[in-house]
Amino acid sequence: MLVEQNARLALALAQRGFVMETGRIVLEGPASDLRENDKVQHTYLGVA
């Protein structure tokens, strides 16, 4: 298990990821899928 504030680093290292907001899991899946997810890109990765 890796708990990391740097989402880009965490998704580069992990095979599977979980996105938490206010203590609840709101997204989960393979890290590669999360890296491509629009919400993750805009909210956590700073992609415009």
Q: What is the pTM of this model?
A: 0.82
| Residue 33 main-chain phi, psi, to 5 deg | -70, -40
Tell me the pLDDT tens digit for each residue of 31-44. 999 999 999 999 98
Name the residue type at position 20. M
The mean per-residue pLDDT over the stretch 7-16 comes to 94
- For residues 33, 30, 32, 45, the Cα torsion angle rounded to the nearest 10 degrees is 70
Encode 22-43: b = buried (16+ Cβ within 10 Å), e = exposed.
Answer: eeeeebeeeeeebbebeebeee
Q: How far apart (Å, rounded) are the C-alpha atoms in residues 12 and 40?
A: 13
pLDDT band (50, 70, 90) for residue 47: confident
